Amino acid sequence: MEKAVIVCVDDESVVLVSLRDQLRNHLGQTYGIEIAESGEEAIELFSELLEDEIEVPLVISDQIMPGLKGDELLIQLHQYHPKTLKILLTGQADAEVVGNAVNNANLYRYISKPWDEPDLCLTVTEALRRYTQDRRLAKQNKQLQLLYDKAQQEIDERKRFETLLAEANQNLEHKVEERTQELSQALANLKATQNQLIAQEKMASLGTLTAGIAHEIKNPLNFVNNFAQLSIGLADELSELLAEQKPTISPEDWINIHEILTDLKLNAASINEEGQRADSIVRNMLLHSGGTAGEFQETDLNILLDETIQLTYHSIRAKDVTFNINLETYFDSTIEPIPLVIQDISRAFLNIVNNACYAVHDKKMSQQSHVVPIVRVTTKNLPDYIEVRVWDNGSGLPAEVQDKLFTPFFTTKPAGEGTGLGLSITYDIIVQVHQGKIEVNTELGEFAEFIISLPKQKLGSE
């Protein structure tokens, strides 16, 4: 299948070639770029592309052209293929023209000429991302609709048989009714799945935003940390130089100078210390927002757990000022680095610690309990495995939910507060990716404890 094509329309060939070259430079070989010098030529080109089953996710058109104007062209293309997104370029901001394109062509964006290249590239990138997301959601909706129709047909058929068999066997009628209720629940689950998929798309976009923010913070933060260290060194050098001149300085001035230099060194050291802490937070933000998965690296599990715990605590604390618990850590110092997929295992422990924090805080708030909420994380060095225990004194887990804990979309949280995917993903990361084990020990109303065992050597290694 040929790659998708972006169509650019402008009656000025210089402007058209410039637009094409800027898009090619920005998008590389991902998309084809086709050009047309009039609205009529654009319609003919658009028709040929669709007849050849080539996708046209985006059309960018000038407004002022001989023959068909930009808004008239976009309206005709919208009638022909409404899924294609449209961007209008013009040097004359005519509200009536823009309004006409918005109302009749579902205009995506209006950009003034001459355009700002970064703004144009960003707009095109967002438009293509939206087109891809719309296509993905449309495909998912179609699949869900097919399942819905199939289930609805089965329900209708079951009801028809229920009517026919009601007079012959009352017991059979009861069984058919039970089956009908199960299918109705299946329909509700399908709709819930659709909502969860949409929520996942939003979370993916949020992860991208988080990574961008973290990258922007990291450069000035490195500048602060480096110059804080440099300032400490300069202060030491200045102290040495002044020490050589001490005989020429009065005792009173010497004391003042010495105190100022001491304060400067302490201030620079404090800036460096807090800067390093901020840098650790930024690195964790980048780690949890995305990156290359599947690569095992020798990792200090104790350090990774400590960073994950702190990240979880401060993340929840930032969203809820009433959140306040005791975090206890007991790490085995004899543990040596083991092979882990850092991003994956961090996400797994983040899910478990986050659930523990939620459990103790929820118990405190709902029961007005005077018991101090505690989350305790312990590591232990065993012969072949590293054992990690995450214990909390929350409300524990009922017996009937323990077998469903790692089932996709199962959650004990209220509607809207959990997708039911966290522990399912955690199970896959620990058991499937790292060949480890995860177990649950709990007492209802008292505590819950997750016990994770991670092998010291990667499966298949010497």
What's the pLDDT at 196?
A: 46
Q: What is the dihedral of CA 248, 252, 254, 260, to 10 degrees?
A: -150
What's the pLDDT at 408?
A: 67
What does the buried/exposed string (b/e) look like for 304-321 if buried means 16 or more CB atoms within 10 Å of the residue's CB?
A: bbbbbbbbbbebbeeeee
**Both tokens assigned to 18:** 């410039």
Domain with CATH 3.30.565.10 in the chain: 292-455
The yes or no reply on domain 5-133 and CATH 3.40.50.2300 is yes
Give 342-351 pLDDT, tens digit per residue. 888 888 898 8
Please answer whether residues 235 and 269 qualify as being in contact, where contact means their C-beta atoms are separated by less than 8 angstroms.
Answer: no
3-state secondary structure 125-192: HHHHHHHHHHHHHHHHHHHHHHHHHHHHHHHHHHHHHHHHHCCCCHHHHHHHHHHHHHHHHHHHHHHH
Please answer whether residues 325 and 357 qualify as being in contact, where contact means their C-beta atoms are separated by less than 8 angstroms.
Answer: yes
The yes or no reply on domain 292-455 and CATH 3.40.50.720 is no
**Both tokens assigned to 113:** 């000429």
What's the pLDDT at 389?
A: 96
What's the pLDDT at 303?
A: 94
DSSP state of 355: H
Helices 170-244 and 251-289: angle between axes, nearest 10 degrees: 160
The parts of the chain modelled with pLDDT lower than 70 are 1, 92-93, 192-216, 218-219, 223, 280-294, 368-369, 408-422, 459-462
What's the pLDDT at 5?
A: 93
Give 71-81 pLDDT, tens digit per residue. 889 999 998 88
What's the pLDDT at 292?
A: 46
Whole-angstrom distance, CA of residue 234 vs CA of residue 25: 46
Domain with CATH 3.40.50.2300 in the chain: 5-133
